[in-house]
Structure formats: C-alpha cells, structure tokens
Amino acid sequence: MPSPKITFIGAGSTVFAKNLMGDILSFPELAGAHICLYDIDAERLAVSERVGRRIVETLEVPARIEATTDRSRALDGADYAITMIQVAGYKPGTVTDFAVPKKYGLRQTIADTLGIGGIMRALRTIPVLLDYARDMERLCPDVFHLQYANPMAMNVMALNRASKIRSVGLCHSVQGTAAEIAEDIGVPLEEINYTCAGINHMAFYLKFERNGEDLYPLIRKVVEEGRVPDWNRVRYDMFLRLGYFVTESSEHFCEYVPWYIKTGQEKLVERYNIPLDEYITRSENQIRKWSELSSQLQDTSVPLEVKRSVEYGSTIIHAMETGKPAVVYGNVENRGLIANLPADCAVEVPCLVDRNGLQPVSIGRLPPQLAALMQTNINVQNLTVEALLTGNRDHVYHAAMLDPHTAAELNLDEIWALVDELMAAHGDWIPQNLRETVAHAASQLRVA
C-alpha cells in the first residue's frame, strides 16, 4: 500500500499537531506516511517539526516528516489536508473580538463559534480557507480535507458552497461529552452506545444507552442528587428543559442562547458559574506556558509520551486507506440527513468511513424543540456565509441582529455601531469589499 501524503495547515499549533501526528503514526498501516507540516510562523513550525521527528523516533516508524513555509509545496500531491488555523491569532483577533463588544456591554465567554465574536472570526477565517481550497483544486484535486478550525459550521458551509474539494468538519465535542456524561453517571464509556445529531456545538444525544437500557434516567439522577459539576450547570439546566443532553460545554453553550448572560441579571452568572472572558484567560495562560512546554517537547532527555487522542482525523485516514470501516461524527452538508433543518446548512451526524470515503447517516427529523433552537444559530451562520460569498455587506448586520445573545443585550443602533467598530478594528483581516461597503451602508443609516 503506497504511503499517503498528509499535509498539516497551521502546524504551528504544536500540541494539536503532536496529537494528530501521534494518532496517525500509531496505526501500523500509516507508519510510513509522509507528513508535511506547513505554517506561516517559521519559529513555531520548527518546533512542530522537531516534535514530529521525536514522535517518529519514539514510535520507531519509517514516516517522513517535512516542514515548509511554502504553501504550494505543502499541498502539491497531498492525499489528505488537515486545517487547524486561527486567522489573526489571539492578538489582534481574539482580543479585539472581546474588547470591542465589552465597550457596548456585550460580554462573551469563548467568542469563536457564534455571537459577534464568531461572526468576526468567520469573516477573517473563511476567505483564507477558500484560498487554501483553490490551491487544493489546483495542486491536489482529489485530496480529502479535514477541517478543524472554528467557527466550524460556518467554515464547512462556505467550503461546501464555494469549493469542489471533499471536506469534513471535525470536532471532539461529541465523543468528549459522552466521556464526561459516562463519568457523571458512573458507567464505563466503552459500555455505552449513543446516537447524536444536530449542528456543531449544538448537537444532542438522541439515544444514550447500555445494552438497550436507556441511560437518561441516570443523567436525571445526577441532578436529583445534587451531583451536577459546578462547571457544567448550563448544560444540565438545558437537559432538564429540553429533555436531551447537548454536546458542547457550558462555557460555550451559554453564549449561543439569550438566557444566561444578561445585563442587570448578574446573579445568573453566579448561579450558572459562567466564566466570562474564559477564552482570553485560557489563551493568556497558554502563551505564558508556551516556552516551557516547547522546551519540554523538544528535550530529548525527557521521554516523549505518545498516546492516542480522541480526535477523529487519524481514524478517517486509516479507514479510507485500509478499507477497514469506522464510524465517526462529522460536520457535512445537510443533504437530506436531518429533515427539519435547512438543506444547505452544516450538520453534525454519524458517518461511516471506508474506501468509499465519508458516508453520512440519515437521521430523519429531530425533536421539534431541538430543531427550533438550532435554527436560531443556523440563521446567523447562513447570513455570515452569505455576506462573504456575495460581498453583500448588509448581511453582516443581519447576522449580528439575529444572533440570540447579541439581540438579547443590544438594540439595533448599538448592533450596527458595534459591527462598524469591529470591522474597522480588524482592518485588513476583513475582506476589502465588505470593509468599504459597510462604511457606506452605515452612513446611509445615519442619514435616514
């Protein structure tokens, strides 16, 4: 079996790249893979390259590790491409997405998936992903693209609409949350089978069982016995109200809805233990620890631990290369998969993978309350993607005004002003046609 070329785009994310390289090379059938690492940051790329070579030495495999800052070289002839990018980085990107809305009284926790922060991240990220996709169409048209960047649903939606490249969006929230629930109810994860479906960061476990036994009563018992983890109060509250458990963490989920972060109701933040500005704090901690972690990973005197992660990427590559079937959860275009969600949105569903590629499973209709909640998020996703693909600046405002959390906190004039200020603050990170016409639209509104 010929060894595949697997290109990592954004390989300077060293810890994530390390996990994926370890996962891939742990499969005997993939041990000879050609892994090409690409990043625009040469310093971080060099660290990832050295870590990759250490993984090869530790596992004693014949893999080839290559690193380059030349994107065409990285993608040329690739069989698989894995994107893990953060356009504009923590600074100025993330900092701006938190600082400007805070001036308007709009507080966030993560700001990378939905909300005004998610919209702005999409405006920065999707044009770059589409540039990569155009390069793939030219240099490796048969490549399979594994997309890990947020905002996941918007990225996948744009790729599906604007590119011919086969893509799947991958996240670890489905399998990660299943493990957390298993711990809460005291049932070994390996004994649990589940079916989950929805949209990224807002999928729900439609079935959660052990040997045919419904385990939802055990989840309800966690609440009744007062054992809800302090960091997970929002999700358990949603479970009680909707009847199903959601995949994404409480700190994420609380900013996708209008009910938990509200000006004048600060006791909600305390009641549900909501970590405002959590992503800022997390990022700053990671930056402080980067030098130490980088040194540890490169220190040949310290054994390098290589163990499988929960990420689906290597499983997909292995199944496609060997034909040994596997089931993963992927974010794909809704082509009749979930009947009561829009046909062109991005849905997260179980997928069979083998030599035939990725084959999503049809779910049918979701419980109506779940589909209705998802639709509030899909509205924002769709309008943001529409703004980017058509150049229609008005849809940026429309996305913001229909965002559940933003609309619950700000009036329309505040939303328009916030969008204007964010677009100006991000400057060249935002597509030029949107920057120029947004200013024009705003001036018309003020005259009116």
What residues are paired with 17 via a beta bridge? Answer: none
Q: How far apart are CA 170 and CA 143, in angstroms?
A: 16
DSSP bridge pairs for 81: 7, 145
Pairing outcome for strands 34-38 and 64-68:
parallel
Cα–Cα distance for residue pair 151/129, rounded to 1 Å: 12
Say how many C-beta atoms besides its own lie within 10 A of residue 421's C-beta.
Answer: 15
Using an 8 Å Cβ cutoff, are 272 and 254 in contact? yes
First and final CA of the chain: distance in angstroms? Answer: 67
Q: How far apart are CA 201 and CA 362, in angstroms?
A: 19
Find the length of the chain: 448
- Residue 145 is a catalytic residue: no
Helix (H) or strand (E) holding 394, with range, is helix 394-402
Q: What are phi and psi of 366, to 5 degrees?
A: -80, 160
Q: What's the CA gap between 316 and 351, in Å, rounded? A: 10
Between the CA atoms of 315, 316, 318 and 319, what dihedral angle is there, to the nearest 10 degrees? 110
Q: Convert 332-355 to b/e letters by CB count within 10 Å (16 or more is b).
A: bbbeebbeebeeebbbbbbbebee
Q: Contact, 124 vs 429, CB < 8 A?
A: yes
- φ, ψ of residue 333 in degrees (nearest 5): -70, 140
Nearest to 266 by CA among 112, 117, 105: 105
Tokens for 228? 């809800």
CB atoms inside a 10 Å sphere around CB 85: 22
Q: Which one from 145, 172, 318, 426 is the annotated catalytic residue?
A: 172
CA-CA distances (angstroms) from residue 24 to 79, 140, 316, 322, 377? 14, 20, 10, 13, 34
Listed residue (102, 101, 74, 98) closest to 88, CA to CA: 98
Token pair of 17, please?
Answer: 């790249």
Catalytic residues: 172
